[in-house]
Chains A and B, each alone.
Chain A
Amino acid sequence: MSVSISGLLLVMADSVTALQLSPSFIRPSTFLQLLAFAILLGGIYGLVALGLTMIFGVMDVINFAHGALMVVGMYIVWWLSTAVGLNPFLTIPIAVVALFVLGIAIHRLTIAPIMDAPQENQLIVTFGVLLIIVSAIEITFSADPQSRVLNLGAVGIGGVALPGGQLIALLIAILAVVLVWAFLQRTQLGRAIRGTADDREAAQYVGINVPRIDYLTFGLGAALAGLAGAVIPFIQQIDPHLGDTYLINAFVIVVLGGLGSFPGALVGGMIIGFVHVFGQFFLPGSGNQIAIFLIFILVLLLKPEGLFGGGS
């Protein structure tokens, strides 16, 4: 994108004006409220990044369709809740299972045939999958925003409001990290996945069925995307393009936390959540997004393996 000098000057002038309106201090109650929002948002970001980091960590596939898979999860929950009339909370596991199956199907049809091809091929294929999924949802449900499935209100603690949807998302994120971590650490299959992530070739030599692990990994990654998507209709209106919003920051979180690191995804999500919320409060316009990418650059310069990279 080309930005003219006059355009830049206008943006700078705009920023100065907005900064003049920004608070010079922060009240304790406001700080606590922002802190709560940062933790809640960080949980959602961490959840979104989990599946992405898993697929890349094991398969070296950059899954651009991750946001679209989230959107599928959103629409499953929304449709089953509003059109079919199921309890919204019961639709969450349905979405997770459906996405697991969909992930395996996508892998079978698109990724598996080109696993040994250059990485660019897989990138382009997942981008194509993204376009197909989003277009299909748009054709089926229209591009119009759809309502939240449930108004959960907010819980007030000491003057701090905790929106119900975000709170549930945070709890689900923590639970997901614990369960996935336990699965990877405590089960034979989990060890096989970690072994494949370490060295695909060596894994084959020790008898691990690597193609099968790929299927499982992509399915799990998609299921995690579905889980992340499934909580969104409890928080905000949804539309077919909402996945893009979360995907960009999820990429940053994956690098920040360390490629393939689950704790890194959660901690990275929290950091980005903090930068997003406090950046929003103190910086004009979309300055918080600029701050997020500046942090990303700093991480690459100072600790390119990420916060939790390099360890198991």
Chain B
Amino acid sequence: MLKVTELGKVVNTAAGDLEILQEISFQLAKGESLAIVGASGSGKSTLLGILAGLDTASHGDVELAGQSLKSLDEEGRAALRAECVGFVFQSFQLLPGLTALENVMLPLELHGHQDARQRAEKFLQRVGLDHRLEHYPKQLSGGEQQRVAIARAFANEPTILFADEPTGNLDAKTGATIIELLFELNKEQGTTLVLVTHEERLAARCQRRITLEAGRLEHTVAGAEAAPC
């Protein structure tokens, strides 16, 4: 599902070129879950962005759903994201002017689904927010907002889901509920899951884990070593 080969990212700064990511390679099979962990500034979010096709690599390549991202331009990557990628963000990224239902409907409408409303309602019901359909984000708690974001991510039935610190803005209890929900849905839909996290509990739920340190892949824990999902 995801194949990363010799990935590197260099950015220009006032002090000269800065290598944020260096020689990162790994593979992830369909339906697997992967946690990317590491200290702040280790390049986790940058890696996630490149894996999801939101940003481009300086060296190496990423193959997502059998498609080399290097060979695609921004329009092509957008089409690929539309087809098989879902996102959950730390800051939820809900549009403040849209209701919970409309936020979930948005990607479905973007891709021309005729049954956007029904599907959005179904997923909001699945995340336990069927009584909050017409509420605006600012009327929802942080946990509720993240549940809306999860419903939005899964409503499009992606084959791979990227999550950037999905519990980073939530308290421990709410975070735990969100983790449960994320993995339940992941299991139900057979989605491949890539998440960036600081949280040990969350990383522990994944089948595999990679640790980044100063842009390098320090440690890979695979299969049996990880806790079962």
Q: Do A and B bind each other?
A: no
**B interface residues with partner A (beta carbon < 8 Å):** none
